[in-house]
């Protein structure tokens, strides 16, 4: 494999391991748990994995262990650090017993069903230590929900002598992990299932999981790009940059990037929903800032737009929910060939309010809203060009204002979308260390005979040596939600908390950032070497949430 000098240097980086995970570890049980909501429904659906205690890892005596084989699956979108979860798992297994084997299922959950796998040897693992991407075994979004799929999993696990499967994924994939764990316990087939918290979106977090891995690196990568654009804008002084940031639903990425780079505007979807805002209200807010800056002779600026914005505008949310149900259940739609036929068909089936909204959308956006849902029933918001929609609406409004003499500036806008640029970046020290610890933690959960747990590493604003490890029952994070037209048990997504410290910090500073006096910060690229205050820092979000942020 061809490697850059940085890749070569990074391959020998030894992730920092918490003292808690050094040496021999035993599991200590804490309080029994319950689901975050819908207790009775979740309990009935998960009789074997509901109510299990939180686990913490403490020092213990070394016990002889029989050799064991483990399978690992990467699921969903790529996130920096996935390879380190696998290398931590591999090292953890080999430390327990050099005869242990790690198998990687290829291409995501479908590898388990289709029996596509590879044995991950030391040579393979060494090629991927501290690298970005999921290419060691590939990823996929196949939803594991049918008993026949679970049974195919049993077949291959028994054939390979696999005692546990580790699923590295986001909320949907860890929901799969929990369903699988429950099924295997019900069947008594002797296969454990352990989840690991992955997603750049940062929305898999709760009272136990402090952050998902990949969020740190992705936000640092996007913040570097935003900072570079801001410096360009401040030099050329001629463009408004509308920058859409990945993060399917929650606005954590946009918020974190705003905290790091201090743009003129950062939209937060959760606030838009809470204030019951329309698209026109959002445009009004943007216009106000553009006009004020133009009055001060500044015809440039930056606007961060969370990818999921469109779904949080209440009227759009109702439209999308109706479209989701329609596309999930209506065969007639799929048989139609042209875009025009599809649009007419959809308009006729929607409620009058949604139909009117759909009719007024630019054709491109209407087409993007009708695209296939992902296997979990989600709209593929990464395909919806909200930044272009906003540019178009703002430009139209400013043209009218210019004609009436209420706007005297010049408006020239550029749209950007940062998503795939950050998902496979070389993991930051934080993600490299965090992921490696997650892998080791997963090994101990398996060794302790646990199933239906997610690997837990906490105290993340402290130096890595002080991190704590344990396990959290996945059922504890679940509630019932409507998916593809049916109520399903799913892990509750963590949206931006409008009462939380990160949003409050933005709210307290945004007027100053919007103002004529440019407050841009240029964070620069991720630093892998150097003083700890430069290269080992967690996100601003995490520091603000834990009260460890210094202005």
Q: Give me the active site residues, please.
A: 201
Kindly state the smallest distance separating residue 202's Cβ from ligand FBP, in Å: 10
Supply the angle between the helices 252-261 and 215-236 in degrees, to the nearest 10.
50
Nearer to ligand FBP, 76 or 409 (CB): 76
| Closest-CA residue to 350 (of 372, 375, 323, 374) | 323
| Interaction between residue 243 and ligand FBP (CB under 6 A) | no
Residues with Cβ within 8 Å of 236's Cβ and at least 6 positions away in sequence, in order, are: 300
Nearer to ligand FBP, 101 or 423 (CB): 423
Q: x/- site string to ligand FBP, residues 423 to 442, per CB under 6 A?
A: x-------------------
Q: Binding ligand FBP by CB under 6 A: which of 93, 185, 200, 494? A: 200
Q: Binding ligand FBP by CB under 6 A: which of 101, 143, 205, 248? A: 248
Written as six digits, the tokens of 429 are: 């020290």
Kindly state the smallest distance separating residue 397's Cβ from ligand FBP, in Å: 28
Nearer to ligand FBP, 247 or 409 (CB): 247
241: which strand partners?
A: 302, 414
Kindly state the smallest distance separating residue 251's Cβ from ligand FBP, in Å: 11
Q: Binding ligand FBP by CB under 6 A: which of 201, 322, 431, 545? A: 201
Residues with Cβ within 8 Å of 354's Cβ and at least 6 positions away in sequence, in order, are: 315, 318, 319, 322
| Interaction between residue 73 and ligand FBP (CB under 6 A) | no
Q: How far apart are CA 321 and CA 15, in angstroms?
A: 44
| Interaction between residue 77 and ligand FBP (CB under 6 A) | yes
Kindly state the smallest distance separating residue 294's Cβ from ligand FBP, in Å: 33
Written as six digits, the tokens of 531 are: 């003083």
Range in contact with ligand FBP (rule: CB under 6 A) among 8-16, 76-84, 227-235, 498-506: 76-84
Kindly state the smallest distance separating residue 134's Cβ from ligand FBP, in Å: 10
Q: Binding ligand FBP by CB under 6 A: which of 35, 87, 199, 211? A: 199
**328: buried, middle or exposed (CB in 10 Å: 19+, 13-18, 0-12)?**
middle
Nearer to ligand FBP, 382 or 428 (CB): 382
- At 470, give phi and psi (nearest 5°): 180, -155
Q: Binding ligand FBP by CB under 6 A: which of 381, 384, 390, 496? A: 381
Q: How far apart are CA 443 and CA 144, in angstroms?
A: 23
Q: x/- site string to ligand FBP, residues 273 to 312, per CB under 6 A?
A: ----------------------------------x-----
Nearer to ligand FBP, 21 or 454 (CB): 454
Kindly state the smallest distance separating residue 359's Cβ from ligand FBP, in Å: 26
Nearer to ligand FBP, 496 or 514 (CB): 496
Q: How far apart are CA 380 and CA 204, in angstroms?
A: 18
Please answer whether residues 98 and 131 qualify as being in contact, where contact means their C-beta atoms are separated by less than 8 angstroms: no
| Interaction between residue 76 and ligand FBP (CB under 6 A) | yes
Kindly state the smallest distance separating residue 405's Cβ from ligand FBP, in Å: 42
DSSP assignment of 27-47: EEEEEE---SS-HHHHHHH-T
Range in contact with ligand FBP (rule: CB under 6 A) among 13-21, 40-48, 75-83, 284-292: 75-83
Please answer whether residues 153 and 180 qualify as being in contact, where contact means their C-beta atoms are separated by less than 8 angstroms: yes
Nearer to ligand FBP, 52 or 180 (CB): 180
Q: How far apart are CA 13 and CA 528, in angstroms?
A: 9
Window 16-55: residues binding ligand FBP (CB under 6 A): none
Nearer to ligand FBP, 138 or 247 (CB): 247
Range in contact with ligand FBP (rule: CB under 6 A) among 61-69, 197-205, 269-277, 471-479: 197-205
Query: First-to-last CA distance in the chain?
Result: 43
Kindly state the smallest distance separating residue 162's Cβ from ligand FBP, in Å: 24
Secondary structure of 483-529 in the HEC alphabet? ECCEEEEEECCCCCCCCCHHHHHHHHHHHHHHCCCCCCCCCCCCCCC
Nearer to ligand FBP, 353 or 372 (CB): 372
- At 415, give phi and psi (nearest 5°): -100, 145
Q: How far apart are CA 142 and CA 498, in angstroms?
A: 33
| Interaction between residue 143 and ligand FBP (CB under 6 A) | no
Kindly state the smallest distance separating residue 245's Cβ from ligand FBP, in Å: 9
170-202 burial, b at 16+ Cβ within 10 Å, e below that, comes to: bbbbbbbbbbbbbbbbeeeeebbbbbbbbbbbb
Residue numbers at the binding site for ligand FBP (CB under 6 A): 76-77, 79, 170, 199-201, 246-248, 307, 381-382, 423
């Amino acid at each position: 494999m061809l490697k850059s000098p940085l890749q070569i240097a990074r391959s020998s980086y030894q992730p920092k391991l918490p003292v808690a995970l050094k040496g021999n570890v035993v599991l200590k049980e804490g309080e029994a748990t319950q689901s975050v909501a819908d207790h009775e429904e979740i309990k009935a659906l998960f009789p074997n994995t509901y109510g299990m205690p939180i686990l913490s890892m403490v020092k213990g005596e070394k016990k002889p262990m029989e050799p064991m084989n483990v399978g690992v699956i990467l699921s969903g979108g790529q996130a920096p650090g996935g390879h380190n979860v696998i290398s931590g798992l591999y090292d953890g297994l080999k430390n327990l017993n050099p005869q242990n084997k790690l198998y990687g299922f290829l291409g995501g959950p479908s590898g388990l069903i289709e029996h596509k796998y590879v044995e991950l040897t030391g040579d393979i693992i060494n090629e991927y230590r501290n690298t970005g991407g999921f290419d060691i075994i590939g990823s996929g979004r196949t939803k594991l929900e049918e008993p026949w799929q679970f049974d195919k999993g049993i077949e291959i696990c028994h054939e390979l002598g696999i005692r546990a499967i580790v699923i590295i994924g986001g909320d949907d994939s860890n929901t799969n992990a929990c369903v699988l764990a429950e099924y295997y316990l019900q069947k008594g087939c002797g296969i454990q299932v352990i989840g690991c918290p992955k997603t750049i979106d940062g929305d898999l977090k709760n009272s136990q999981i402090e952050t998902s891995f990949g969020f740190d690196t992705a936000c640092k990568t996007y913040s570097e790009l935003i900072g570079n654009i801001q410096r360009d804008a401040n030099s050329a002084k001629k463009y408004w940059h509308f920058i859409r940031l990945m993060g399917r639903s929650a606005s954590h990425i946009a918020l974190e990037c705003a905290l790091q780079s201090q743009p003129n505007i950062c939209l937060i979807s959760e606030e838009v929903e809470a204030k019951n805002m329309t698209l026109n209200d959002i445009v009004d807010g943007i216009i106000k800032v553009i006009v004020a800056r133009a009055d001060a002779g500044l015809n440039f600026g930056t606007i961060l737009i969370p990818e999921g914005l469109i779904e949080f505008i209440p009227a759009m949310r109702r439209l999308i929910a109706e479209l989701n149900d329609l596309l999930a259940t209506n065969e007639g739609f799929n048989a139609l060939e042209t875009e025009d036929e599809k649009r007419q068909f959809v308009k006729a089936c929607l409620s009058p309010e949604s139909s009117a909204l759909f009719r007024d959308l630019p054709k491109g956006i209407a087409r993007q809203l009708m695209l296939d849902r992902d296997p979990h029933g989600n709209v593929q918001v990464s395909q919806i060009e909200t930044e272009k929609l906003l540019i178009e609406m703002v430009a139209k409004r400013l043209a009218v204002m210019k004609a009436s003499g209420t706007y005297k500036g010049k408006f020239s806008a550029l749209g950007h979308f940062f998503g795939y640029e950050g998902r496979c970046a070389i993991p930051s020290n934080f993600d490299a260390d965090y992921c490696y610890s997650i892998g080791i933690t997963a090994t101990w959960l398996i060794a302790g005979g646990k199933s239906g747990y997610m690997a837990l590493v906490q105290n993340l604003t402290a130096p890595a040596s002080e991190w704590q490890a344990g396990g959290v029952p996945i059922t504890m994070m679940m509630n019932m939600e409507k998916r593809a037209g049916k109520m399903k048990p799913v892990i509750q997504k963590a949206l931006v908390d409008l009462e939380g410290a990160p949003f409050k910090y933005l709210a307290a500073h945004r007027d100053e950032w919007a103002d004529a006096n440019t407050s841009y910060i240029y964070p620069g690229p991720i630093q892998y070497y150097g003083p700890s205050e430069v290269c080992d820092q967690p996100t601003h979000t995490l520091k603000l949430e834990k009260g460890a942020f210094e202005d």
